[in-house]
Structure 1
Amino acid sequence: MILLVQVVGALFGFLAVLFGAMGAHALKKTLSQDQLRSFETGVKYQMYHGILLLILGFNLGFNTGLETYMAYSFMLGTLLFSFSIYGLCLSEARGRKWRFLGPVTPLGGLLLLAGWALLFYSFIAHIV
């Protein structure tokens, strides 16, 4: 599990830099300002959570269900949140908005919130 979290974190970071460069250069002429801002939001959240996964991967043993659920929440949440935004922006720019992705973004956001809540709980559990 440790290696999976580290690999996914590194992959998310790599792709965030790649997609960020694409958004800043190649897509600047294709996307509207609103679409570009949304795309950048996806990139930022992907990078933040890629870094977080690397930190968790180097600091946790994933010996408990809590740590495992936390990691899966962050990985799946980032995938659903950021990549659904990319799909929505790119499909809308091409005139065929993939509306089925609309509900996927908040689902990803909920999983990210769940991951953060589990992380918070893990800290509080050690205090109490």
Structure 2
Amino acid sequence: MEKKILLTAVFLGMVSIILGAFGAHALKSVLTSEQLTTFETGVRYQMYHALFLLFVATYKPLSEKKRKTIFTLAVIGIALFSGSIYLLATNSLTSFDFKIIGFITPVGGLLLILSWFFLFIDLFNKKSQNSSF
């Protein structure tokens, strides 16, 4: 599971850099500044959670079951949150109206919050030991 999470984290980090560069260069001339800011929000949150997953993969005291739960919540959350933001920000470039999927963004955000919450609960419940951190 550790390798799977690490590979996913690295992939998501790499893709966020690619999308950030794409937004800053290719989309700069076709989107409004507000749309670009929205797009950058998706990129930023994707990168935050790629780094989060790197921590989750390497934090040894975390059980495999909790690691898998956090991983699943984070990956689905990234896909729904950042993915919907990318589509909504570039809505003007397509013939499909992505505004109908706008409700997916807060669902993805909730899943991201839950992934952090599960880690918080795990850390909070650990007995005070210097070796835990």
Q: Is the pair's TM-score, using the shorter chain for normalization, greater than 0.5?
A: yes
Residue 100 of structure 1, CA deviation: 3.0
* Paired letter, 2:99: R
Aligned length: 128
Q: d(CA) in 2 for partners of 1:62 and 1:72?
A: 15
> Could you tell me the TM-score, scaled by structure 1's length?
0.90
Q: CA 1:68/1:127 → structure 2, altered by over 3 Å: closer, same or farther?
A: same
Indicate yes or no: 2:99 matched with 1:99. yes
Q: CA RMSD in A?
A: 1.8
Percent identity, aligned pairs only, is 34
Residue 94 of structure 1, CA deviation: 3.5
User: Paired residue for 1:5?
Assistant: 5
Q: What are the ranges of 5 or more consecutive residues in structure 1 without an aligned counterpart?
A: none
* Paired letter, 2:103: P
**1:1-128 matched pairs, under 5 angstroms:** 1-60=1-60, 63-94=63-94, 96-127=96-127
Task: Provide the secondary structure at the position in 1 that maps to 2:63.
Answer: coil
Confirm or deny: 8 A CA contact 1:42 1:85 kept in the other structure: yes
**Max Rg structure:** 2
Q: d(CA) in 2 for partners of 1:113 and 1:13?
A: 19
Confirm or deny: 8 A CA contact 1:62 1:68 kept in the other structure: no
Q: d(CA) in 1 for partners of 2:69 and 2:5?
A: 12
Residue 56 of structure 1, CA deviation: 1.5
Confirm or deny: 8 A CA contact 1:38 1:85 kept in the other structure: yes
> Could you tell me the TM-score, scaled by structure 2's length?
0.87
User: Paired residue for 2:131?
Assistant: none
Residue 123 of structure 1, CA deviation: 0.9
